[in-house]
Amino acid sequence: MKVNGVVHPTPADPRRLLSDHLRHDLGLTGTHVGCEHGVCGCCTVLLDGAPVRSCLLLAVQAEGHEVTTIEGLASDAAPLHPVQQAFHECHGLQCGFCTPGFVMSVVGLLEQHPNPTPEQIDEGIAGNLCRCTGYASIRRAVHRAAELSKVPSPVRGAFSESEHPRASAQGESEGEGLKPV
């Protein structure tokens, strides 16, 4: 499987969850595990561009697929991805535990709805639980992320098009969300 643009061997242990594989085998601990039964959304990653719960997938099921985790949104030296930037500006996180899952869900949401209505926002984040913020600031962050995503700005320069894992691997419409709309 390809994770954040890098090919990794699939783990031998057939009962290894994708979430545990990412965290404990690959050291990508930004993907968090909050319930292990697919309700809280903390473990959300993109599988071939679409948000999925990595605690409900076995790692072997991701073989041949492309996984993007929170670490893959913006390289270390680059500015934050527009969704990350918007969460920062709007105080859309407190403890930060649910945050990577929310960010990945919102990346998926904005790909589907670049100009989301309030109802689409609520529905788009209704698969993620947050116990700190009361969601108000997260809603504001989604609005702000939609604004930031419309403007070609330095914040979207995390990866050049050719090196962005999703753009390079797919060359299809899934990569669109990270380009100027």
Partner 1 sequence: MTTRWFGARVQRVEDDRLLRGYGRFTDDIDEGALESCLVRSPYAHARIRSIDVTAARAMPGVIAVYTAAELPFGQTDLPILIPHPNLTHGRTQRCLASEVVRYVGEAVAFVVAESRGLAEDAAEMVEVDYERLPVVITPESAARAEHLVHDDVPGNVAAEMIQEAGAVQAALAASPRRKRLHFRFERGAACPMEARAVWARWSTSERRLTVYDSTQSPTSIRGGLAVLFGLPESSVEVIAPDVGGGFGPKIMLFYPDELLVPFAAMQLGRPVKWTEDRQEHFTAVNQERGQVHEVEVGFDDEGKLLALDVDFVHDAGAYTPYGIILPIITAGQVPGPYRVPNYRVRFRDVYTNATPTSPYRGAGRPHACFVMERTLDAIAAELGLDRAEVRRRNLIQPDQFPYEVGVAWQDGNAVVYDSGNYPVLLEKALANLGPRPVGDHVGMGLGMYVEGTGVGPYEGAHVQVLVSGKVVAATGIPSQGQAHATVWAQIVADELGVDVADVEVTGGDTRRFPWGVGTFASRGAVTAGNAMAVAAGMVAEKARQIAADHLEVDPADLELVGGKVQVKGSPDRGIALAAVAVLANPVRYAFGGGTEAATQFTARPRPGPPLHEGEQPGLEATGYYSPPASTWAAGCHACYVRVDPQTFRLEILRYVVVHDCGRVINPLVVEGQIEGGVAQGIGGAFYERLHYDSEGQLRNASFMEFLMPYATEIPAIEIDHIETPSPLNPLGVKGAGEAGVIPVGAVLASAIEEAMGVPITEMPLSPLKLFEYFTSPPSGEGGSR
Q: Give the binding site for partner 1 (CB under 8 A).
A: 15, 23-24, 28-37, 39-40, 42, 69-71, 73-74, 76, 80, 84, 87-89, 91, 93-100, 103, 121-123, 125-139
Contact 111, 144 (CB under 8 A): no
- Give 111's contacts (C-beta < 8 A, 6+ positions apart): 49, 174, 176, 177
The residue among 7 and 76 lying less far from partner 1, judged by its C-beta, is: 76
Q: Nearest Cα to 39, choosing from 86, 98, 94, 122? A: 98
- Closest approach, Cβ 72 to partner 1, in A, equals 9
* Least distance to partner 1, CB of residue 92, Å: 9
- The smaller minimum CB distance to partner 1, of residues 35 and 181, is found at 35
73/171 with CB nearer partner 1: 73
DSSP 2: E
Name residue, tokens 């030296």: 77
Nearer to partner 1, 18 or 70 (CB): 70
Nearer to partner 1, 84 or 149 (CB): 84
- In this structure, what DSSP letter does residue 25 have? I
Residue given tokens 């100009």 in the structure block: 115
Burial 99-112 (b: 16+ CB within 10 A, else e): bbbbbbbbbbbbbe
State in angstroms the smallest separation of the CB of 172 from partner 1. 25
The nearest distance, CB 24 to partner 1, in angstroms, is 6
Shortest Cβ distance from residue 161 to partner 1 (Å)? 21
